[in-house]
Structure 1
Amino acid sequence: MTTVIPLDTRRPVTEAAQGRVGVLLVNLGTPDTADAQGVRVYLREFLSDPRVIENQGLLWQVILNGVVLRIRPARKAKDYLKIWNTEQNESPLKTITRAQSDKLAASIADYKHVVVDWGMRYGNPSIKSRLEALMAQGCERILVMPMYPQYSAATSATVVDKVATALKDMRAQPTMRFTPPYYDEPSYIDALAISIEKHLATLSDKPDTIIASFHGMPQSYIAKGDPYQAQCVATVEALRKRMGLDEKGLMLTFQSRFGYQEWLQPYTDKTVERLAKEGVKRIAVVTPGFSADCIETLEEIVQENAEIFHKAGGEAFSAVPCLNDSDEGMDMIRQIVLRELQGWV
């Protein structure tokens, strides 16, 4: 006969018995250097992931190795140079993700047995190296937070894949948890709204409309069941409600299309151009799908799309910074992490 012990009489697990707990923030990744070779190494890893390019067959290998990796690295290196953190010789994404990790660690410093670190899915520091570093510090339990508000097989799922690959080589494995997507978390929606309101307060003239631009993906991925588009829509709908805006006040678009497949629409660049031609003079663009500013926000939005808007007749283009390591962004990350650590801390 099994004796059931009431919850309120169970002895709490001590920190010593638990061991240390690790928290690993993971973002997409970045080249190590802003030159063609650095970009080539990064793109090879990124575009060889079957979660990103699902058909890794012979045709894609010919395109990747015969065209993309020969032509695109030099072009993209020029874009990286436009935004590169020359002081630290790294991309802004790496600088910001490190700052997020440091600030999270400081904000939960009262939890003495929790260790916070950060890594990248592609490039460095690698997920494997950071898992090993956390384990070397005595972490027997590790919470991984993919820094993507909206889930996609090409982002969040591939982080899980990479963690699993690292664990395959470990005889003594840590116990793992992963934070869920936070596309409709009240703290995330509040943080977005506050960041937009703060940014708009710095402008001399109110924008005629705000565009919420998300990274795109092939429409075929959605047809296969990826929930990404639905979660982007949910984010925008929640943000509209929070800010009292309608569909014209806050528009949903998708950016960064690549190749010749049909991607999620409406496209950001085409929308920006159309609005300007229709007589819209002032717009602001926010990128809710990115947790940290990167080449897709700082170069593609701030520079490329601003140029498109101005050439088509627009007058004032403004980009809202990502949440980055702002107070509201860090409060959101802290809330999610502490909630997902329940039972461990």
Structure 2
Amino acid sequence: MANHLPAGHPPVLAPKVGVLLLNLGTPDATDYWSVRRYLSEFLSDRRVIDTSPWIWQPLLQGIILSVRPQKSGANYARIWDKDTNESPLRVITRRQTEKLQARLGADVVVDYAMRYGSPSTASGIDRLQAAGCQKILLAPLYPQYSATTTATANDKAFDRLKQLRWQPAIRTLPAYFEEPSYIKALAESIANGVAALDFTPDIILTSFHGMPVKYLEAGDIYHCLCFKTNRLVREYLGWPKEKLMVTFQSRFGPTKWLEPYTDATLKALPGRGMKKVAVVAPAFSADCIETLEEIAITGREEFEHAGGEHYAYIPCLNDSDGGMEMLETVVRKELQGWI
């Protein structure tokens, strides 16, 4: 191509295809100001908190962000990756990116970005364009669609596209909650996780991230997708209905959220005679504060305090062989016709 350019023309890279893995985000450190910046961006997203900014922002920038960063920072410190001085979410997402790049080969450029915090979604698009990518697959790493996750990740990418003089062609990765490769990878990770335990769980909780009930009533389909994933996994494993139970975690504020709540369930199970439990978090593609601190640490404390005897957290798919095979499969499906 360069041989046909007129004299003085800027260099033109050979056109490439890009894949941008998109995840939720993370503070850059565990100190007050780093966590405050992250939470301010996260909790200012109108898809996450749809209360009028005239009401919400004074509360957020006042008492909430005066108090919550200390608590969240302490929780992040409990699971922080000391070797890289980064959150596990960023470390794992980067490893997923590197492994997917190796699987897809030189014809595709793979990068990652975060909806909140760094590396930003805008910078990810810019890096792919600078590498010559004229076609980009945006890949939100959320198996079950929600406006609070998948949509807001795409929103941020579209915000950057609106600013570009030369936009790349864009595709977006659909929710893959029922993709056979995802169900297989998730089911086998649960089965292998249970088989490795030194006890047999009375019940296994599939703990999905929660959402206010009013979002469901407004038309968000997330709730249904969570239950379908749970059913397909159970059918794949051939387990009875009572073996695998859907719960919802991470509720925030006084609003009613999707039930049953994970924390309340963990506190109640020992009283029902179920004192051996395992928990998995299928809505998360990579382990993060909501899984490593809220479920693996705090969940265990709540369960044992209520009289539970055996507790296990089964990790997310992360960059495991099964997880990467699944990710390659769903990405290649959306790249058909481009590569």
For Structure 1 versus Structure 2, the TM-score category normalised by the shorter chain is over 0.9
Q: Equivalents in 1 of 2:278, 2:231: separation in Å?
A: 17
Matched residue, 1:280: 274
Q: Equivalents in 1 of 2:64, 2:52: separation in Å?
A: 14
Contact 2:187 2:234 in 1 (8 A): no
Q: 2:45 aligns with which of 30, 44, 49?
A: 49
- 2:166 is equivalent to residue 149 of structure 1: no
Q: 1:298 aligns with which of 292, 297, 317?
A: 292
Q: 1:108 aligns with which of 91, 104, 107?
A: 104
Q: Equivalents in 1 of 2:41, 2:13: separation in Å?
A: 39
Q: What is the identity, as a one-letter code, of the residue corresponding to 2:43? A: L
Tell which deviates more after alignment, 251-260 or 195-204.
Answer: 195-204
Contact 1:143 1:177 in 2 (8 A): yes
- 2:116 is equivalent to residue 122 of structure 1: yes
Contact 2:30 2:77 in 1 (8 A): yes
Structure 1 gap ranges (5+): 1-15
Q: 1:201 aligns with which of 179, 195, 217?
A: 195
- 2:75 is equivalent to residue 79 of structure 1: yes
Quote the RMSD (CA, aligned, Å): 1.2
Q: 1:63 Cα shift? A: 1.2
Structure 2 gap ranges (5+): 1-11
Q: Secondary structure at the match of 2:68?
A: helix
Q: Equivalents in 2 of 1:97, 1:164: separation in Å?
A: 21
Q: Equivalents in 2 of 1:172, 1:47: separation in Å?
A: 31
Matched residue, 1:63: 59
Q: 1:21 aligns with which of 17, 22, 27?
A: 17
Q: Secondary structure at the match of 2:302?
A: helix
Matched residue, 1:91: 87
Contact 2:271 2:307 in 1 (8 A): yes
Q: Equivalents in 2 of 1:244, 1:38: separation in Å?
A: 46
* Identity value in percent: 52
Q: 1:18 Cα shift? A: 8.0
TM-score by length of 2: 0.95
- The 1:225/1:18 distance shift into structure 2, 3 A limit, reads farther
Contact 2:187 2:236 in 1 (8 A): yes
- 2:316 is equivalent to residue 312 of structure 1: no
Q: Equivalents in 1 of 2:241, 2:289: separation in Å?
A: 27
Matched residue, 1:325: 319
Tell which deviates more after alignment, 215-224 or 51-60.
Answer: 51-60
Q: Equivalents in 2 of 1:187, 1:341: separation in Å?
A: 16
Q: Equivalents in 1 of 2:154, 2:222: separation in Å?
A: 16
Contact 2:89 2:286 in 1 (8 A): yes
Tell which deviates more after alignment, 212-221 or 202-211.
Answer: 202-211
Q: Equivalents in 1 of 2:143, 2:177: separation in Å?
A: 5
What are the Cα deviations for residues 149-182 of structure 1, in whole angstroms up to 9, with x where unaligned?
Answer: 0000010001111111101111001000001000
Q: What is the identity, as a one-letter code, of the residue corresponding to 2:233? A: L
Q: Equivalents in 1 of 2:301, 2:242: separation in Å?
A: 22
Aligned pair count? 328
